[in-house]
Amino acid sequence: MEKKNLSFNEIIERSLVIRDRYHRLEQQHHGTEWSVEEDALAFLTDAGLVGRLTMSEQKRWPKGGDTRSELEHKLSECIWWLIVLAERMEIDISESMEVFLSTLEEQLRG
């Protein structure tokens, strides 16, 4: 697969389209969409898996298997969940990241 450098805005747009598709599946299977709280719990579950996969990658947890590809998947999935959560809570993640990064840069200039 050819590597493509996506802009953050492209990542956000694609993430939200995919989440909308999942909402439709949730409606079909359960009659309702997941709540923001359920999305947050799903994120936390995946974030926990990042911890275990990182330990396995660093040879500190005996998981076995293809840890690297699982870790890449879970890291990306966590970014996806954060974008979804920001959107659902009406937070402009691009603007928020700009403020966050600018603040850190300013703090580290000293």
- Say which residues have a Cβ less than 8 Å from residue 26's Cβ, sequence separation at least 6: 32, 33, 34
Residue 93 and residue 77: Cα distance in Å, rounded? 16
- The two structure tokens encoding residue 108: 């580290």
Residue-wise burial string across 35-45, b where 16 or more C-beta atoms lie within 10 A, e elsewhere = eeeebbeebee
- The two structure tokens encoding residue 15: 């993430």
Q: What does the pLDDT read at residue 2? A: 75
Q: What does the pLDDT read at residue 3? A: 79
Q: What is the DSSP letter of 83?
A: H
Q: What does the pLDDT read at residue 66? A: 82
Asked if 89 and 79 touch (Cβ cutoff 8 Å), the reply is no
Place of tokens 């954060």: 82
Q: Going residue by residue through the chain, which has 110 residues, state the pLDDT in tens, using 9 for 90 and above.
A: 677 899 999 999 999 999 999 999 999 999 999 999 999 999 999 999 999 999 999 999 888 788 999 999 999 999 999 999 999 999 999 999 999 999 999 999 97
Asked if 47 and 78 touch (Cβ cutoff 8 Å), the reply is yes
Asked if 49 and 71 touch (Cβ cutoff 8 Å), the reply is no
Q: What does the pLDDT read at residue 62? A: 87
